[in-house]
Structures are given as C-alpha cells and as structure tokens.
Amino acid sequence: MYKIGVMTSGGDAPGMNAAIRSVVRKGISDGYEIVGIQRGYAGLLSGNQFLNLKIGSVADIIHRGGTVLLTARAPEMLEGENQDRAAELLKGKGIGKLIIIGGEGSFRGAITLQERGIDVIGVPGTIDNDIPGTDKTIGFDTAVNTILDAINRLRDTATSHERIFLLEVMGRHNGFLALAAGLAGGAESILIPEVGYDIEEVCKRLMHGIKRNKAHSIILVAEGAGDVYKIKEEVSKQINSEIRVTVLGHVQRGGTPSAVDRILGSRMGAMAVDLLHKGNSGLFTASRGEDIVALPLEQCFKGVKSFPEKLYQLALVLSK
C-alpha cells in the first residue's frame, strides 16, 4: 500500500504543524500518497475525516501553533471493538501505514493498531515533555518560552507592588515545564509533583528573601503539585505579605512555535516517513542530544521519565 496516514492526537502542541508539513513533503517526495486524518482517533472512528494532502496543502503552516489537522481526546479508543474498527477503516481506505503525532495516550492507541496489521510510527508531540526515551517532545520549548514571558511580566508587577505571586503552569503528572521555566525565570520556589512540597520550607525561603529586603517573589506551581489556591491560603497564614495567584492555563499551549520546535518537528516528521519506507513499525522518533533515534513504542510505558534532579537542585541554590 502506498498511502501513509498522518494524524495529531491528544493535546495540541506548537510545532505539530512543522511535523505534519514534513510528513507530507517527505512522504510525497518518497512516492507516497499522504492522507491526513482530522480530529485524531475520534475523527478516524467517525470514518469521514480523511483528506488527501498535497505539497500545497501544507503551505504556510510551519509558523502556526496548534494543528491544522485538528485534534481530540478519544477515550473510546481504549475499547477493543473501536480499535478493531479503526484498523478496518484504515485498511478500507488503503492506508497501511500511519504516523501519529501526540503524547503517551496517542502512542497507546498506535500500538493497538499495530497489533491489527497497520504499520505505525509515533512522533512525540506534547508540551509536557513527559515521554520516556526522548530528551524533548515537540512543543515543550515553545511552552517553556511562553511561561517565561509570563514570568517576566509577572515579575514587573510583583516588583512594583512588592507582592508574592504563585504561577500555576501545566503538568498534571510531572513538573518538566515548571522546572525548566522556573530555572530560566529565576523563580524563588518551584513546586512539582515529583518532589511534592513542604509549606514550611516554601515559607522559610520566602522569609529568607524578605529578610534581605526582597519583598517580591515568584513561585512556580505545576498543575499536579497541588491546589494552587490552597497553597496560597497555607502560605498566607504564615507570611504577612500580599499574595496573588495566576493560572496560565491553555495560553501556554498556543502560540508561534519556536525555531527549536519547528526544527524538531521537521526532523521527526521526515524520519517517521523514512522509518515506514524502510519497513519499520511500532517505533517512535526520540531526540537524544543532537540526534534523532528510533525507539520501540513499548519503551514509553516502562516507567516514567526520570526527572532532572540536578536541575532542580541547581534552581534551589540559584534562587536563594
């Protein structure tokens, strides 16, 4: 079969469009027909979301955030009968090879399709950077820079009003975004699920700053670390300073992709085509230092991505 399907699935991430563009253009140059499947697995299961993509279909998208193929969360793909149906729908359209750009949940869906005879390659796209095996996921760099921009703005007002700010950023299960942005933005404390938090310690650090006449502080709180409003209450009880909460929310998922994410998307998309062309399946593209390598999809589910303890310790020392 000379058709490659491509879809984005789960939360969108800046740089996904660069990956789609790369799959389309590399795939066509290697002699494939490329079929875009809109709205991820939900679109696939609806059976009517297939688009033939030409070279021109992906013009003017490399600089755009989000995904032109649209995306969705599709819990229905956890059910065996939907997995059967998805594979049958693909085969019915002559699509024997599929590239899935998304996070861990998307990769789980990919494995079920592989088990049903579709050649699949995953491309890690999520702002969370939580896929084990790859140093970076597409979208992480842009999101970190978006958070950094928010920190810079908050710092202006925090300094002027001599206030403490709690900034909640995404990361349901991990603190990669909070840690990277917190280190780069000089946050006074970084609360992440991997470490948990101790209110006494947070307050001690704040008091340390106050004693040296530093009346403003920014504390980064990863979504999964705890309820940011509860943390505010707990800190308020112990520190006699004004505290404000900002929840950044989905702002950090949009925006123009950084050069890093465009290049990562372009490299990984092209490599995914290459892997399929050489007869591979069940792999995902992973960044390792300067290289992009291919790893088994199963590897993503063996444990969680280890958190960079050294960076965390460095952030603690530098933000005293």
- For position 127 contacting ligand F6P by CB under 6 A, the verdict is yes
Query: What is the full DSSP assignment across 220-278?
Result: EEEGGG--HHHHHHHHHHH--S-EEEEE-GGGGG-SPPPHHHHHHHHHHHHHHHHHHHT
Decide: 64 and 19 in contact? Cβ < 8 Å.
no
Footprint of ligand F6P on 204-243 (CB under 6 A): 223
Of 289, 304, 298, nearest in space to 172 by CA: 304
Identify the DSSP state of 76: G
CB nearer ligand F6P, residue 253 or residue 267: 253
253 lies in the binding site for ligand F6P (CB under 6 A): yes
Q: Is 119 a catalytic residue?
A: no
Q: Phi and psi for 200 in degrees, rounded to 5?
A: -55, -45
Using CB under 6 A as the binding criterion, the count of chain residues that bind ligand F6P stands at 11
Distance, CA of 262 to CA of 138 (rounded, Å): 8
List the catalytic residue out of 12, 128, 130, 261: 128
39 touches ligand F6P (CB under 6 A): no
Is the CB of 128 or the CB of 194 nearer to ligand F6P?
Answer: 128
Measure the CA dihedral 58/59/65/67, to 10°: -20
Instruction: Determine phi and psi for 9, rounding to 5 degrees.
Output: -145, 150
Nearer to ligand F6P, 51 or 72 (CB): 72
Q: What is the number of other CB atoms lying within 10 angstroms of the CB of residue 204?
A: 12
Asked if 171 touches ligand F6P (CB under 6 A), the answer is yes
305 binds ligand F6P (CB under 6 A): no
Region 84-113 residues binding ligand F6P, contact defined as CB under 6 A:
103
Q: Which stretch binds ligand F6P (CB under 6 A): 38-46, 107-115, 125-133, 261-269?
A: 125-133
Angle between helices 80-92 and 104-114 (to 10 degrees): 70
- Minimum Å gap between C-beta 126 and ligand F6P is 5
Shortest distance (Å) from residue 6 CB to ligand F6P: 20
Give the DSSP letter of residue 65: S
Residues 55-84 close enough to bind ligand F6P by CB under 6 A: 73
- Chain position carrying tokens 């563009």: 21
- Binding residue (CB under 6 A) for ligand F6P from 36, 100, 128, 181: 128
Which residue, 198 or 227, has its beta carbon nearer to ligand F6P? 227
Position 192 contacts ligand F6P (CB under 6 A): no
Q: Which is nearer to ligand F6P, 89 or 181 (CB)?
A: 181
Kindly list the residues in this chain that would bind ligand F6P in the complex (CB under 6 A).
11, 73, 103, 126-128, 170-172, 223, 253
- Residues noted as catalytic: 128
